[in-house]
Amino acid sequence: MAIEDDVLVIGGGLAGATAALAAADAAPDVRVRLVTYKQSTLRHASGLIDILGYAPDSPEEGPLVDPFDALSDLPEGHPYERVGSDAVREALAFFDDVAGDAYAGDHTDANALVPTHGGTVKPTARYPVSTADGLASDDRDALLVGFETLPDFEAPLAAAHLEAAGAPFSARGATIPFPGVVRDDAKVTRYAHLLDQDETVTTGAGETGAREALATTVAERLGDESRVGFPAVLGDEHAAEVRADLAAALGADVFEVPMGPPSLPGMRLEDLLYDALEEAGVRVTSGVPVIDYETAEADAVAADGGSGGDRIERVVVDRNGTEIPYRADQYVLATGGLVGKGVRSERERVFEPIFDCHVPHAADRYDWFVDDVFGDQPYARFGLASDRELRPLDADDEPEFSNLRAAGAVLGGYDFAAEKSGAGVSLATGYVAGTRAGEEAE
Amino acid sequence: MSDAEQPTDDHVPGAEEEEFEPIQVFPEAEEMDLRPGADNCYKCSTCDTNCPVAEVDDEFPGPKFQGPEQWRLKRQDDHDIDDSVMKCSNCMRCDSACPSEVPLSQMHNTARGEYVEEQMDTFSREYLRNRILANYRRLAPLAAAFPRTANFVMGLSVTKWMGEKLLGITSERDFPEFATETFREWWTKRGGAKVENPDKRIAYFHGCYSNYNTPEVAKALVRVYEHFGYEIMVPDQSCSGTPMFANGMLEDARRAAETNVRELAAALEDGADIVASCSSCSMSLRQEYPELFDFENTESVAENTWDAVEYLRVHEDLEGELEGRSVDGDEFDDFAYHAPCHSRNQGLDGQTIEVLSVIDGIEAHDVGDSCSGISGTYGWKEENYETSMKIGEEMFEHMDAADAETGLTECPTCSMQMEHGTGYEIKHTLEVLEAALVGSGSAASGRREAG
Ligand SMILES: Cc1cc2nc3c(=O)[nH]c(=O)nc-3n(C[C@H](O)[C@H](O)[C@H](O)COP(=O)(O)OP(=O)(O)OC[C@H]3O[C@@H](n4cnc5c(N)ncnc54)[C@H](O)[C@@H]3O)c2cc1C
Ligand code: SF4
Ligand code: SF4
């Protein structure tokens, strides 16, 4: 026996979650499972959904106004080129549906400009509602508030940067103690929890709920500004309520400035996706890796060789040392890139560890990078090559397996960090891979 | 196997790495070399965002500090272990969070062991209290011999008051009741296994709690497995060691583990696989033993240990067998299900919901991914009680909101916390399976058998 499903998605980041949701949506009768190992890069990511912020071949021209406009110019092999621009739009619409009113930005094709914790602005297609009142295109003056115990956001510096970058409003920064937090290295979850549960804290003004205490401290610094920006730690489960309470107490709109990792907006997006998975009846197995596979002949093919049948029969999940077989009809590989460990490197080679799918790369490791750290790094594009169905291709451009598709950062041919396309590629390819897998499993 | 044992960051997770010799930790725990694991840490802080203690306790510096940072500090100069390591609840959430496979809980267990050995006064109240809590199993036989007296005495407010004043055991909680007949007594009286089957054999690791406190869970396992034609062995066993790891009592844990590995390995020789009904017990056998010990057969015991429900899913058509069955009686209606941290870490968090969903008329509602907060002996300590309840708050809220009046979980201490926080009665998944497969009628006859 094995654990049996129709579609099995491997990897639970943005790409995997989207693929599983899309499969369940395309074929409501098929049984979909998602198996994932460690936590995904969503916990590091800002929670912003970038489609394309800069043109890959001419980043110096600055942020793109309309990312969709630029899609047709992408080079062959780029994941967007593989799936086509219609699929990118469909995927985004699918995401809008899943995210509901937790995300904004769907009223226009143009990129929004969201201020970041460093005081720069970032072009992005969709953004959490918590950041909506902070957009740089908005001309209302803003007060940015930082916390003494949270050195990653220097509010006065960020404000100065924003002004220097030509923001159409004046920004001012203030640094305050966060009521209830004493540790100078308190976790972001600690701030969020205090506000979420509105825990009682003691300040100079006596004992009050954390929300009120925070609002009181900020109110003393607020001038004429009609909006106030905080680092993105304003609650977790009850984030909307926290923001609303603060706004009411301050008489000003409240927004969050996305922070570096670890990131609460990323965690909230993760929660949103996993709630959607539960809602859609997708079965989720997490905390355990897929380590191997067997082909239809049922003879184990070691990940590093063997003849390789063309159809995957089942995969092997490692449960703390015990090997558990999982069987499905269609598989989606969404294990991430070098960070997510879907692609790994050794001194001699770059490889995909589960199915040993071909990863195109130069034979000489000195050709994997260029000396200029800001240069166009070949390793940033490492990943699987695929056909238009997103089936990974072997060295001869033939599909590795007939029932395996790949999505997200495990794919090669794009540099998400340079072109600001990480979440968009995960969505688009996850959507296409999942939809096809669902249709074929039906 | 963790990176500490296989110092490379590009191995395939979980793949064979047999060339590697595990390190003997004892008697000099501090010699264990965890540095390669520490070097894998790129300070992304993902672990910190998963730590339920750091989320509510301003004094706890979090897993990244407790693990790789402390380890690095220690290697550089003669740093003592920071006493905050005793505030870690051993939920092991940080382990499954780390994208870089840093063996965090192994580092914490080792650091705690060293802290207790070198920095804790063995005459202190704290040490005595922790030792008592960690070695609950040593007291349990006594209480089990006079269960009614023990339950009576433990329930007295004066006992609780003394527990708090003398030992620092919180008076807020009710001590778990001892069963009038232990599982092993029942098993012996019944004449052991009712099914003989050389091809289908399991060795049951029942652990302490289902032996002394909730034998109905252990009996449910027996009936469910016999329903599928398994011959059940109940080897001699000691505590799994979980409470000892959590209290830094590594010597006690080692003694217990040695017995368990020896007895369970013998059962493997007899052709049995090992199954456990408690998620912390299976976690301990599967992960902590090979991380911390290298008795002969530690690895094979770990590799052949299973969660009781998972074993049936893989070896039998459990869901097919449950299909279309229903359960009589109000006590089996809808459940508010909490996945214990130690199930979650084994990738078993979705399992109960999946399996029970095929039974007619029963639904298990997942109450979310928060930790229950009690973490074994952690929430029993006076100084942790408040933290423990703050962590549990989210679970209590979700249980209240769920469409169910009965709780469900596979961890005995989580079930104490669930009951304590909501007043719900709590069941174990195996009890629901028993009711569906064998019928509540036989559960009643089981009780008669027991009586
Ligand atoms: C620091 C950082 C900041 C970023 N900021 C942004 C941003 O602002 N905007 C944006 O659009 N994008 C951003 N990105 C990029 C974006 O997050 C990723 O490109 C995208 O989310 C990748 O998603 P994924 O699902 O392909 O992979 P991942 O998120 O890496 O998920 C892969 C998952 O697969 C699992 N896995 C791996 N191996 C196995 C196995 N053997 N078995 C089972 N599971 C396995 C992993 O544990 C992981 O959970 C950022 C990325 C990083 C690292
Ligand atoms: S084991 Fe749990 S309590 Fe301890 S550091 Fe890790 S996450 Fe925190
Ligand atoms: S999650 Fe792992 S890599 Fe990240 S800070 Fe924690 S130990 Fe280091």
* Ramachandran bin of A74, using left for φ above 0, alpha for ψ from -120 to 50, beta for the remaining angles: beta
CA B371 to chain centre: 13
pLDDT tier for residue A440 given thresholds of 50, 70 and 90: very high
What CATH number is given for A3-101+267-441 in this structure?
3.50.50.60
Cα A19 to Cα A121: distance, rounded to the nearest angstrom: 30
pTM of the model: 0.87
Q: Of A194, A195, A184, give the one whose Cα is nearest residue A151.
A: A184
Selected for mutation to probe chain A from B9, B12, B100 (highest A CB count within 10 Å) is B12
Chain A residues closer than 8 Å to B91 by CB: none
- Tell me, in angstroms, the distance from the centre of ligand 2 to residue A26's CA: 40
For the stretch B278-296, pLDDT in tens is 999 999 999 999 999 989 9
Distances (CA, A) of A256 to A95, A132, A211, A259, A265: 21, 8, 15, 9, 9
pLDDT tier for residue A372 given thresholds of 50, 70 and 90: low
Point out the residue among A3, A291, A340 whose CB comes nearest to the CB of B13: A291
Chain B residues closer than 8 Å to A197 by CB: 390, 393
Cα A326 to Cα B313: distance, rounded to the nearest angstrom: 11
Ligand 2 test: best mutation among B45, B71, B92, most atoms within 8 Å of CB? B92
Cα B299 to Cα A62: distance, rounded to the nearest angstrom: 56
Quick one: pLDDT at residue B167?
Answer: 62
Quick one: pLDDT at residue B73?
Answer: 77
Quick one: pLDDT at residue B180?
Answer: 83
pLDDT > 70? residue B151? no
Mean model confidence pLDDT for chain A: 90
Contact: A1, B314; criterion CB under 8 Å: yes
What CATH number is given for A117-257 in this structure?
3.40.50
Q: Of B209, B228, B27, give the one whose Cα is nearest residue B117.
A: B27
B129: tokens are: 């209290």
Q: Which range in B109-118, B162-171, B252-261 is most confidently predicted, on average pLDDT? A: B252-261
* Beta-bridge partners for A255: A229
CB atoms within 10 A of CB B207: 26
Report the nearest-CA residue for atom 8 of ligand 2. Answer: B51
Atom of ligand 1 nearest to the CA of B13: 41
CB atoms within 10 A of CB B380: 25
B50 lines ligand 2 (CB under 6 A): yes
Report the nearest-CA residue for atom 2 of ligand 2. Answer: B91
For the stretch B196-235, pLDDT in tens is 999 999 999 999 889 988 999 999 999 999 999 999 999 9
Quick one: pLDDT at residue B155?
Answer: 56
Quick one: pLDDT at residue A297?
Answer: 60
Contact: A287, B347; criterion CB under 8 Å: yes
Quick one: pLDDT at residue B5?
Answer: 36
φ, ψ of residue A327 in degrees (nearest 5): -115, 140
- Give the total residue count for chain A: 442
Quick one: pLDDT at residue B159?
Answer: 58
Q: Where are the domains of chain A?
A: 3-101+267-441, 117-257
CB contact at 8 A, B50 and B33: no
CA B215 to chain centre: 16
Closest Cα of chain A to B422: distance in Å?
A: 18
Q: What is the 8-class DSSP label of residue B82?
A: P
φ, ψ of residue B305 in degrees (nearest 5): -100, 140
CB contact at 8 A, A77 and A425: no
pLDDT > 70? residue A358? yes
Quick one: pLDDT at residue A296?
Answer: 79
Atom of ligand 3 nearest to the CA of B44: 4
Ligand nearest to the CA of A43: 1
**What percent of chain A has a predicted confidence (pLDDT) above 70?**
93
Q: Of A331, A262, A264, A252, give the one whose Cα is nearest residue A296.
A: A331
Contact: B304, A322; criterion CB under 8 Å: yes
B282 lines ligand 2 (CB under 6 A): no
Judged by average pLDDT, the poorest of A227-231, B52-56, B130-134, B227-231 is: B130-134
Judged by average pLDDT, the poorest of A133-147, B163-177, B244-258 is: B163-177
Ligand nearest to the CA of B94: 2
B86 lines ligand 2 (CB under 6 A): no
DSSP string, B223-281: HHHHHTT-EEE-------SHHHHHTT-HHHHHHHHHHHHHHHHHHHHTTPEEEESSHHH
Point out the residue among B46, B61, B302 whose CB comes nearest to the CB of A262: B46
B105 lines ligand 2 (CB under 6 A): yes
Report the nearest-CA residue for atom 3 of ligand 3. Answer: B41
pLDDT > 50? residue B15? no
pLDDT > 50? residue A56? yes
For the stretch A288-319, pLDDT in tens is 999 999 997 644 444 444 444 489 999 999 98
pLDDT > 80? residue B309? yes
Quick one: pLDDT at residue B146?
Answer: 62
Chain B residues closer than 8 Å to A291 by CB: 12-15
- Tell me, in angstroms, the distance from the centre of ligand 1 to residue B37's CA: 22
Residue of chain B whose alpha carbon sits nearest to that of A318:
B14
For the stretch A403-437, pLDDT in tens is 999 999 999 999 988 899 999 999 999 999 999 99
Ligand nearest to the CA of A125: 1
Selected for mutation to probe chain A from B11, B45, B88, B397 (highest A CB count within 10 Å) is B45
Quick one: pLDDT at residue B306?
Answer: 95
User: Does the complex come out with an ipTM higher than 0.90?
Assistant: no
Domains A3-101+267-441 and A117-257 share a fold: no
Ligand nearest to the CA of B84: 2
Taking the alpha carbons of A203, A206, A207, A208 in that order, is the dihedral positive or negative? negative
Chain A residues closer than 8 Å to B366 by CB: 278
Residues 244-263 of A with CB under 8 A from B: 261-262
Instruction: Return all residues near B19 (Cβ < 8 A) that are at least 6 apart.
Output: none
Mean model confidence pLDDT for chain B: 82
The stretch A113-122 carries a mean pLDDT of 90
The stretch B347-357 carries a mean pLDDT of 92
Please report the number of interchain residue pairs, chain A to chain B, with beta-carbon separation below 8 angstroms. Answer: 143
pLDDT > 70? residue B10? no
pLDDT tier for residue A38 given thresholds of 50, 70 and 90: confident
* Beta-bridge partners for A123: A113
Quick one: pLDDT at residue B130?
Answer: 76
Quick one: pLDDT at residue B106?
Answer: 87
Taking the alpha carbons of B40, B41, B47, B53 in that order, is the dihedral positive or negative? positive
The single-letter code of the amino acid at B188 is T
The residue that leads in pLDDT, A300 or A249, is A249
The residue that leads in pLDDT, A432 or B161, is A432
Side-by-side strand order, sheet with A7-10: A283-286, A32-36, A7-10, A330-333, A404-406
pLDDT > 50? residue A124? yes
Closest Cα of chain A to B432: distance in Å?
A: 20
Closest Cα of chain B to A39: distance in Å?
A: 5
Quick one: pLDDT at residue B187?
Answer: 96
Closest Cα of chain A to B329: distance in Å?
A: 27
Output the ligand 3 site: residues, CB below 6 A. Answer: B 41-47, 64, 67-68, 97-98, 100, 102, 104
Cα A307 to Cα A297: distance, rounded to the nearest angstrom: 11
A13 lines ligand 1 (CB under 6 A): yes
Closest Cα of chain B to A153: distance in Å?
A: 16
The stretch B138-164 carries a mean pLDDT of 60
Chain A residues closer than 8 Å to B305 by CB: 321-322
Contact: B46, A320; criterion CB under 8 Å: no
Quick one: pLDDT at residue B156?
Answer: 56
Point out the residue among A193, A285, A291 whose CB comes nearest to the CB of B12: A291
Q: Of B90, B67, B107, give the one whose Cα is nearest residue B345.
A: B90
Point out the residue among B51, B313, B347 whose CB comes nearest to the CB of A286: B347
Taking the alpha carbons of B444, B446, B449, B450 in that order, is the dihedral positive or negative? negative
Quick one: pLDDT at residue B17?
Answer: 38
A47 lines ligand 1 (CB under 6 A): no
Please tell me whether residue A287 adopts helix, strand or coil conformation.
coil
A260: tokens are: 């570096």
pLDDT tier for residue B82 given thresholds of 50, 70 and 90: confident
For the stretch A67-81, pLDDT in tens is 999 998 899 999 999
Closest Cα of chain B to A317: distance in Å?
A: 9
φ, ψ of residue B255 in degrees (nearest 5): -60, -45
